[in-house]
Amino acid sequence: MKLSTIRLQNFRNIAEASLEFGRGRVFFVGANGQGKTNLLEAIGYVSALRAFRPGDNRALIRDGAGEAGIGYVLEHERTGRSEVIVRIRLRGKEATLDGEPVRRLADYLGRFPTVLFSSGDIQLIRGAPAGRRRFLDLHLAGCEPGYLEALQKYHRALEHRNRLLKEGGAGSALKAFEREMAPAAVRLIAARRQAMEKLGGLVEAFHGRISDGAETGTVAYRPDVEADSAEAFLALLAKNKMRDVQVGSTQRGPHRDDFAFRLGGKDAAIFASEGQQRALVLALRFGQLRDVRERSGVAPLVLADDVLGELDPVRRERFWAALEDDVQLFATGTTLPGNAGEGQWQVFRVEAGVFREA
């Protein structure tokens, strides 16, 4: 897949911009705070109609404007030329695909995949389990049919169950929500397990290419519960009900799942250096890129937000070697990459939300 044109209006600090891309590698260069990441975020918005940084719609709309707009023209492996238009308002958003309204996110997800390499990815190792679950849920929502629906059903029922637990957990309503949770929970656990097994192998392979190969790096799924049937999950809820009532919330289930990064068989969050941790998260993103492509048959757009400058020269060369030649890459940085003068990059200089092709 290739992005040939993007147009923006009142998106973050970008009043108006229209950019056309003619090469496979595009670099946005400028000082910090000028709008490089904002443009990258706008490109990534096409994937799931959401920003990759936290915040509500107000943060996406330029100060003083009532709404923001983004238009995309993409060349797609399966559908040919596609046009997506998104309007973001304070109280919601709307999108059209080739002139037709996008009515259900589940029908749209996965059509235009993107993979983000970010300096903040190191928090996938250092941060809380919620961040790792979010990574896995976003990945599977875009490439596993039915996953988003199961995730939404589980969390809706979980919210209702928790509310009833705070009220004492009595009555038939609690069991009704548990029966809704159970099949969704089993679906989530099975999908996550299968995905992490595949990602574990991909991470190991890519880590060997990025690092010096002295130690094996991988990821491993850590489910909070084991349940291969709805009946087994319901039995687990019944077993833990007394404690759940005492604390007023559901203490066990896939909403507490996690996965671990391992280096040489040890927990990378504890034993790996910063350089080793960065190599591991790079390997995870490369694994995600390969998994999405194999599942969908579509080459995702690759977004690299200020990560190239953080890599030492050896790892930077290994990054290029691991990146497939036919994927379109959009990267940002405060200085140009070392090979920018060789004609490999289409370069845009960024200042105060204005983009000028160099």
Beta strands 2-11; 67-76: pairing state:
antiparallel
Asked if residue 65 is part of any domain, the answer here is: yes
Position 317 scores a pLDDT of 83
Domain that holds residue 195: 128-293
Q: Across residues 288-296, what is the average pLDDT?
A: 96
Asked if residue 119 is part of any domain, the answer here is: no
Of 277, 293, 309, which closes a domain? Answer: 293
Q: What is the pLDDT of residues 115-165, one digit of tens each?
A: 999 989 999 999 999 999 999 999 999 999 999 999 999 999 999 999 999
Q: Across residues 82-103, what is the average pLDDT?
A: 96
Same domain, yes or no, for 242 and 339?
no
Q: What is the pLDDT of residues 174-197, one digit of tens each?
A: 999 999 999 999 999 999 999 999
Whole-number Å distance between alpha carbons of 337 and 352: 21
Question: What are the φ/ψ torsions at residue 159 (nearest 5 degrees)?
Answer: -60, -45
Of 243, 258, 293, which closes a domain? Answer: 293
What does pTM read for this prediction?
0.94
Q: What is the pLDDT of residues 239-255, one digit of tens each?
A: 999 999 999 999 999 99
Q: Could you write out the DSSP letters of every residue in 45-82?
A: HHHHSS-SSS--HHHHBPTT-SEEEEEEEEEETTTEEE
Beta strands 92-97; 354-357: pairing state:
unpaired
Asked if residue 212 is part of any domain, the answer here is: yes
Whole-number Å distance between alpha carbons of 173 and 164: 8
Same domain, yes or no, for 208 and 313?
no
Asked if residue 122 is part of any domain, the answer here is: no
Same domain, yes or no, for 289 and 322?
no
Instruction: Kindly tell me if the per-residue pLDDT of 214 is higher than 90.
Output: no
Of 247, 271, 293, which closes a domain? Answer: 293
Report the number of distinct structural domains present in the chain. Answer: 2
